[in-house]
Amino acid sequence: MSHSSISHAPAQAPSSPRHPFDLQGRVALVTGCNTGIGAGIAVALAQAGADIVGLNRSDASQTAAQVQALGRRFVPIQADLSRTEAMADVLAQVLAAAGQVDILVNNAGIIRRADALDFSEEDWDAVMNTNLKSLFFLSQAVARHMLDCAAQQGAQWRGGKIIHIASLLSFQGGVRVPSYTAAKSGVLGLTRLMANEWAAKGINVNAIAPGYIETNNTEALRQDAGRAGEILQRIPAGRWGQPADLGGAAVFLASSAADYVHGHTLAVDGGWLAR
């Protein structure tokens, strides 16, 4: 694992009174932001004023360039989130490079497709470790850090925000993705559990459930003309989503505008679940 920081001129002090969606002075740790939904969310948080720590297995230079073009700092951290025993080391690297974490976005995830009758234990473990187990233990580590900040800063502490990326399969069963469905159903449950335990401590835990978004994870579906047509026909908005479509929901849940929102999973799905 390695990290490097990128220096920028200090941001101007936020004006007073602070806009409820203003994230200036906040540091957001976003996992899996090298592409797709994670990249869209990282850029949206930067547009709202946050500095970004990107936690990825692969290069995130394209996202870094977009964040820096907005005048915000981007700190890249490389780590394999399928190895939960490394979480303490990962957070230590993040804090050494960025100093704090005010917002955590648990976006990193993988998907494996096969009929339930043929699904392998290897594919089950790979998806569950990355999409659910690492989400829990990274959230645990960051929540501990946030509570340390609360103890040190007292009334000056602005609270912590944890946002999980759930899925339509947090609500539905799907087909040919048993471990993904199990993991994303677990994400919805953990969102509620963490909110129950941490809301009174000043940490908001919520989730976003994306609909059918044009990303690497949905490429196989989009290449299947029949399946892609069936999906599109059911989406009331009449189109697949773009990663940027998740940005507003992420900014809301990361901001003081959502201070009284706890344990909620917000679907951003073009109306899919309404049909």
pLDDT at 169 over 80: yes
pLDDT at 4 over 70: no
- C-alpha distances (whole Å) from 1 to each of 146, 202, 270 are 23, 31, 38
- C-alpha distances (whole Å) from 44 to each of 23, 40, 41 are 10, 6, 5
Give the side-chain half-sphere CA count within 13 A for 132: 20
pLDDT per residue as tens digits for the range 137-158:
999 999 999 999 999 999 999 9
Which pLDDT value is given to residue 16? 55
pLDDT per residue as tens digits for the range 220-242:
889 999 999 999 999 999 999 99
Which pLDDT value is given to residue 228? 93
Q: How confident is the model at residue 185 (pLDDT cuts 50, 70, 90)?
A: very high
Which pLDDT value is given to residue 7? 43
pLDDT at 251 over 70: yes
Residue 116 burial (10 A CB sphere; 0-12, 13-18, 19+): exposed
Task: Look up the pTM and report it.
Answer: 0.92
Which pLDDT value is given to residue 159? 97
Residues 6 or more apart whose CB falls under 8 angstroms from that of 250 comprise 41, 44, 45, 105, 163, 208
CATH number of this structure's domain 19-274: 3.40.50.720
pLDDT per residue as tens digits for the range 127-136:
999 999 999 9
Q: How confident is the model at residue 105 (pLDDT cuts 50, 70, 90)?
A: very high
Q: How confident is the model at residue 6 (pLDDT cuts 50, 70, 90)?
A: very low
Which pLDDT value is given to residue 173? 97
pLDDT at 9 over 50: no
**Identity (one letter) of the amino acid at 165?**
I
pLDDT at 14 over 60: no
Instruction: Give domain limits for the chain.
Output: 19-274
Would you call 180 a catalytic residue per the annotation?
A: yes
Alpha helix locations (H) across 19-154?
A: 36-47, 61-69, 87-98, 121-128, 134-153
Token code pair at residue 207: 């989730």
Give me the residue label for tokens 């394999």: 80
What mean pLDDT value characterizes the chain?
93
The percentage of the chain sitting over the pLDDT mark of 70, rounded to a whole number, equals: 94
pLDDT per residue as tens digits for the range 20-56:
999 999 999 999 999 999 999 999 999 999 999 999 9
Q: Rg of the chain's alpha carbons, rounded to an integer?
A: 18
Active-site entry in 30, 49, 110, 180:
180
- Provide the sign of the torsion angle of the four alpha carbons 120, 125, 127, 132, taken in this order: positive
Report, as an integer, the average pLDDT of 71-81. 95
Report, as an integer, the average pLDDT of 55-62. 95
97 phi, psi to nearest 5 deg: -85, -35
